Amino acid sequence: MSRKAHDPVMASRAGRGARVLIYSHDTFGLGHLRRCRTIAHSLVETHEDLSVLILSGSPILGSFDFRRRVDFVRVPGVIKLRNGEYTSLNLQLQLEETLSMRSSIIRHTADIFDPDVLIVDKEPLGLRGEMQGTLEMLRARGKRLVLGLRDVLDDPGTLSVEWERKNVLPALEEFYDEVWVYGLPQMCEPLEGLPLTEDIRRKVTYTGYLPIAVPETVFPAEVPEITNRPFLLVTTGGGGDGDVLIEWVLRAYESERMLPYPALLVLGPFLQPEKQLQFMARAAELDAIEAIVFNPYIERLEENAAGIVAMGGYNTFCEILSLDKRAVVVPRTAPRREQLIRTSRAQELGLMRMLEDDGRMDPEEMAQALRDLPRQPRPSETIVPGLLEGLINVNRLIGPWLDRRPTPEMGDTVTAFRPA
């Protein structure tokens, strides 16, 4: 439906600054939200007349600080159950009602905000197709539509089945102008094995990984005492599936009292409350362990740590590289093999040490990895050209569409990697 000429929203668009809308489905965890926030902050830092709006379903979206000219709209949350089905996170609504509300909020927000560029994180059609109407609307207005993908999605066989079921490839053909992969092809190729058309292949650009900056925000007074001396940071990200890592580290410290560093455990806000209490109680019995549930300035803790013990999520991987930290990584292997694929390749290159969970959680195996950690090479000792140039290239790629005067010369400045 076209707007009338006197519509004040349409009239306000004439002299405005540039606008970017970022969509993240965010059913659970912190990874998608933190990646979108990193990109948003870099965009407004680079482009002075730009405003960025993030659409997300994360239940802890409001716990994070956002730069000036970055804001967010939170849509009703959903959560993925162990059987693979979704349900409403907090509201007593049928899933279809929640999805209908989300779709309506997303479309209405995009209609009024009227972005120059839309960046969709990971899910090309959104959760259960909730983005399709918005994509159709913005495509009809001639907006630039970008799909942003992390470096690994899943193993090729599983991803092929999933994307066929979701009808993803036709959506890439119909709606998207560009596909940005936040990684490098020599590390991982997330679309490997998929029956991509030549048109889709031309849309794909590898940007390099997204470097993580330490926030300037000053710590609150209650800094864990353990951080006043060299310590290991043990982080699970969101924590929803981080109990194995915490259990394994606790067993190592319970069985070996002479490890090189004390450890700060960051359990994660999505770890089950009963597990949080159990781990907190065990940590309290150990002189070399402190535990907290969550800290929105995790990058500052990572910067001050002597080393990091973590799962293999995308953001944690980028933080380890950006801060040049020695790391022991325990990747999850279900429901996706994404972390295992990423960490295995990183270990092959000498960027970090991987421990595979075989179900035993042998305390001596973890203890030995922690004893070896001070002698590990740092990530910077492995030279991978373009490794952390993701934000540089995102800004170069998006620049021509923010001033709405795209020229071939500007396109030539992009140094990101396109697959052969």
Same domain, 400 and 374: no
Q: Which residues pair with 291 in a beta bridge?
A: 265
- Write the pLDDT tens digit of every residue in 205-231: 999 999 998 877 655 546 788 999 999
Same domain, 300 and 194: no
Same domain, 194 and 244: no
For CA atoms 393, 394, 397, 403, the dihedral sign is negative
Question: Which token pair is 292?
Answer: 């907290």
Q: Contact at 8 Å (CB) between 396 and 414? A: yes
Cα–Cα distance for residue pair 123/293, rounded to 1 Å: 29
Q: Which residues pair with 19 in a beta bridge?
A: 51
Q: Contact at 8 Å (CB) between 15 and 33? A: no
Regions in the chain scoring below 70 on pLDDT? 1-15, 26-31, 80-87, 217-222, 404-420
pLDDT at 33: 85
Residue 153: name the closest of 56, 48, 31, 57 by CA.
Answer: 31
Same domain, 377 and 404: no
Same domain, 197 and 69: yes
Quick check: is 1 in a domain?
no
pLDDT at 217: 63
Same domain, 29 and 155: yes
CA–CA distances in Å: residue 25 to residues 33, 198, 227, 392: 9, 28, 34, 25
pLDDT at 261: 97
Burial class (CB in 10 A: 0-12, 13-18, 19+), 93: middle
End-to-end Cα separation, the chain, in angstroms: 42
Same domain, 377 and 392: no
Same domain, 45 and 101: yes
Residue 298: name the closest of 38, 5, 13 by CA.
Answer: 38
pLDDT at 295: 86
CA–CA distances in Å: residue 287 to residues 94, 194, 248, 265: 48, 51, 17, 13
Same domain, 151 and 279: no
Neighbours of 224 (CB within 10 A): 16
pLDDT at 397: 97
Quick check: is 102 in a domain?
yes
Same domain, 82 and 106: yes
pLDDT at 34: 87
What residues contact residue 61 under an 8 Å CB cut-off, 6+ apart?
A: 26, 33, 54, 72, 74
pLDDT at 6: 45
Quick check: is 419 in a domain?
no
Domain tally for the chain?
2
Quick check: is 341 in a domain?
yes
Same domain, 97 and 199: yes
Quick check: is 164 in a domain?
yes
Neighbours of 359 (CB within 10 A): 6
Concatenating the DSSP letter of every residue in 9-20 gives HHHTTTT--EEE
Quick check: is 136 in a domain?
yes
Q: Work out whether strand 78-80 and strand 86-88 pair parallel, antiparallel, or are unpaired.
A: antiparallel
Quick check: is 42 in a domain?
yes
In the numeric block, the tokens 């022991």 are attached to 328
pLDDT at 81: 59
Give the start-end residues of each E strand in 25-154. Answer: 50-56, 70-74, 78-80, 86-88, 117-121, 144-150
pLDDT at 297: 82
Quick check: is 28 in a domain?
yes
> What range does the domain containing 366 cover?
225-381
Same domain, 399 and 291: no
Residue 40 belongs to domain with CATH number: 3.40.50.2000
Cα–Cα distance for residue pair 94/106, rounded to 1 Å: 19
